[in-house]
Structure 1
């Protein structure tokens, strides 16, 4: 017997990567079907079906008794208009639930089981509780390299996959990626115009920030449109050889996006999950050659060189077996890159480097050149060791700036200058001495409290670097905020601990 139909109502609640539906407690369906809060349900409407978690409400202004409320995520997935008739019924358990329970018990999962788990995750059949259980289990019982390989394959298989070689022929399709954790590290926005100005293909799909003050997509969005349908993205790449777009619209490795939404709040980033996450995205996006940046530092994701080498070997094992040519670069992660932390301030740094502005941050320039050099040396016509000279010549000549402008125009240029937050506050040195340490995590958190990335013009403008001598009262950095409350929160955290360690000089 089918449950009676209800009318779809868009509730307007952001549940971030989870389908949630809402029924009034007095809804006849709730009583007849025995639904309870947090029940897993299936919704059918106009030939579409989604799995979701049920929330029960008591306020008829949120959801009337004869309506079915949908969260923003559920409404987007179901793809039907408000008022359309829908049915709701109890969901069958995900087919892979037995495999999940085995991993929770500490057992090793095989290829078929991991493919089943990722397919169910991509189809939103898992609740946040079950997702968290999977993430914690893979952290507690570390994945062996075979499991990491199968997990990567499964993540790729659960979404779309782009084949650029059918468009471009046999040449390399290059990309670069940093494992993250270093504020201000916007090298992608410099590497892409340099490499594509050389004539290589570099269709760069990037992420938005989740717990950091800015992602590449957040920063690029101040200059150009980044939410591009796949067909338009392909046309832009044909025209300019590259792009700097948000990867969320392309449905590449969607299971990874769902898992990340659970991993980040739990501060879990296990090596196996990290490798599968990064490589699945790159391979699904059609990359054939990848330069991977692993920053090492006391407050980076990787704290020591031996740890970086272990991670490097795991990346190389999986990449080799999946046909991806990988070059790993271990870099200095002891402090932020550039001066700005936050989308607008980081975009300013990028444009200063592209314009060869004398005041441009030299550390950002140099790191981008070394990354671009490694990528250019994937070109079979370039001799090993010549990549840096070629990259530097492209940047110094202004060709990289011209190429960036072409990419911006192709994606859809944003009008107006980069914004500046109206509220500012200087954080100063408490004593005279030398800057001996920078806490990347704390500086990122202060920038987020100031409003970044939700407020693009908010963040931190750094005035010192490691090794600088400072006087008591000298400015360490300037906070930028749009709202008084944001500035107050950031100020409170910064004044308790600025994020910089200052050691008195002997």
Structure 2
């Protein structure tokens, strides 16, 4: 059949399109949602069949392929391909056993993850696996097997150094851009910190989205390696490196379902770090009423699971439990967060103190991974590096090497449309809902519109009068502004009360 590129982004799923009147579609094994094998030039992919009735999309003698499928085969429109019904993935038996609640072994997870990375599973089958692991929960040995299989599903970087450090947060706290401060601090100290980060999926910005305001983040692996060798660090998007690619496929169904079970979270984070060549990791687990983790017992259970799997995989792990009661910094959204980061690096008096302090403490813990640094001295070393301007100089060097965007944090290009959220009555800011404030920023257009987001003017414990501005919302388009305004009118994410109503903080610094 002649192949046609169908310009539809199916988000990490290979989809094939057949016209309803196509003779191939009428054959056994080619019905809607069945899987087919597409072969050309010694390559092959598996794809899920969708049926169309419009010949302008796919004609009767054509096979349409979604963006992902077309790119994998490296085709040109009109090339001839061979199609046949697909064989069932080899791991399907193991998947069915997991659905039935059985405990799986190492070889079972290797088979399942290999099929996931090879795009042999449909979205329905992926969803079945994610839900089965979530519902029955994985025991800690299974989490190790899953993590190890995910590392094996892609390439693994080797920096040929005994100490390669990284810092990661489990997420859920808007504005938490500490990585963009930790990397230049520890790199200026001489430690190797190749930071490959993700883009936002359900948050207003990922580290890669915010760094993209300052510099290019989509870098080929060769250039990335050269930058790390020259500057001891980088801040890049990890999608080009093919690190634990099965994780990216699983995330494509976990996030829409809002499934983030402890076992899957541990496997996702640790597999990415080990594949990136890290030997030492500082892990941030925030606790708060609207954070992912909401109590100290829950945080300790998660800590123990991370520590067990990390130990089995030969990764040195330092878990830090931090304040997750509210967003970190003032800005939520790529441009606003980049502004905050650069203000901290420049020791600007307008810099958010909470972002500065948290970054220094996390950087200090990483610096203490160096056996030549005495425990407790890391914070002071990190502070001296930041105050002296060495961290700023290192960040500027990394930005230049990755390709500077010439961002001016003193005149950030924010969305041209805005509105303000006002305090309904006088009192004290007694609560900020992380989930709702992130949702408002997303509805305003972040991260797709870099200048969209929320700029916080009041934090926990601040006194307010009726009519005081709590935060400003920026958007680039009228529809986005209206969606954010409607969400804000239903709940502005702030709770005004008395000073005694402010929730207690649990931190380990």
3-state DSSP of counterpart to 2:12: coil
TM-score, normalised relative to structure 2: 0.96
Alignment check: 8 A CA contact 2:14 2:66 kept: yes
Which consecutive unaligned segments of at least 5 residues does structure 2 have? Answer: 501-509
Alignment check: 8 A CA contact 1:252 1:284 kept: yes
TM-score, normalised relative to structure 1: 0.97
**Alignment counterpart, residue 56 of structure 2, candidates 45, 58, 61:** 61
* 1:425 has 2:416 as partner: no
Give the Cα–Cα distance (whole angstroms) in 1 for the partners of residues 37 and 213 of structure 2. Answer: 39
**Alignment counterpart, residue 83 of structure 2, candidates 88, 102, 107:** 88
- Deviation of 1:441 after TM superposition, in Å, equals 0.4
* 1:453 has 2:444 as partner: no
3-state DSSP of counterpart to 1:203: strand
Give the Cα–Cα distance (whole angstroms) in 2 for the partners of residues 423 and 438 of structure 1. Answer: 24
Deviations 1:79-120 (A, max 9, x none): 222222111111111111111111111110011101100000
**Alignment counterpart, residue 306 of structure 1, candidates 294, 297, 301:** 297
Which consecutive unaligned segments of at least 5 residues does structure 1 have? Answer: 1-5
* 1:490 has 2:484 as partner: yes
Aligned counterpart, 1:293: 284
* 1:198 has 2:192 as partner: no
* 1:470 has 2:460 as partner: no
Aligned counterpart, 1:72: 67
**Alignment counterpart, residue 437 of structure 2, candidates 434, 443, 462:** 443
- Deviation of 1:31 after TM superposition, in Å, equals 2.5
Give the Cα–Cα distance (whole angstroms) in 1 for the partners of residues 7 and 464 of structure 2. Answer: 50
* Pair 301,416 (structure 1): closer, same or farther in 2 beyond 3 Å: closer
Aligned counterpart, 2:156: 161
Structure 1 segments of 4 or more deviating over 3 A? 415-418
Give the Cα–Cα distance (whole angstroms) in 1 for the partners of residues 498 and 397 of structure 2. Answer: 49
Give the Cα–Cα distance (whole angstroms) in 2 for the partners of residues 173 and 161 of structure 1. Answer: 13
3-state DSSP of counterpart to 1:330: strand
- Deviation of 1:504 after TM superposition, in Å, equals 5.4
Give the Cα–Cα distance (whole angstroms) in 1 for the partners of residues 220 and 309 of structure 2. Answer: 29
Aligned counterpart, 2:2: 7
Which stretch shifts more, 195-204 or 44-53? 44-53
* 1:36 has 2:31 as partner: yes
Deviations 1:141-175 (A, max 9, x none): 0100100011110100111100112xxx33x1000
3-state DSSP of counterpart to 2:303: helix
Alignment check: 8 A CA contact 1:431 1:504 kept: no
Give the Cα–Cα distance (whole angstroms) in 2 for the partners of residues 32 and 292 of structure 1. Answer: 53
* 1:396 has 2:357 as partner: no
3-state DSSP of counterpart to 2:425: coil
3-state DSSP of counterpart to 2:326: coil
Alignment check: 8 A CA contact 2:430 2:498 kept: no
Give the Cα–Cα distance (whole angstroms) in 1 for the partners of residues 29 and 47 of structure 2. Answer: 16
3-state DSSP of counterpart to 2:124: helix
RMSD, matched Cα: 1.1
- Deviation of 1:505 after TM superposition, in Å, equals 7.2
**Alignment counterpart, residue 249 of structure 1, candidates 240, 251, 266:** 240
Give the Cα–Cα distance (whole angstroms) in 1 for the partners of residues 185 and 94 of structure 2. Answer: 46
**Alignment counterpart, residue 367 of structure 1, candidates 336, 354, 358:** 358
**Alignment counterpart, residue 183 of structure 1, candidates 144, 149, 174:** 174
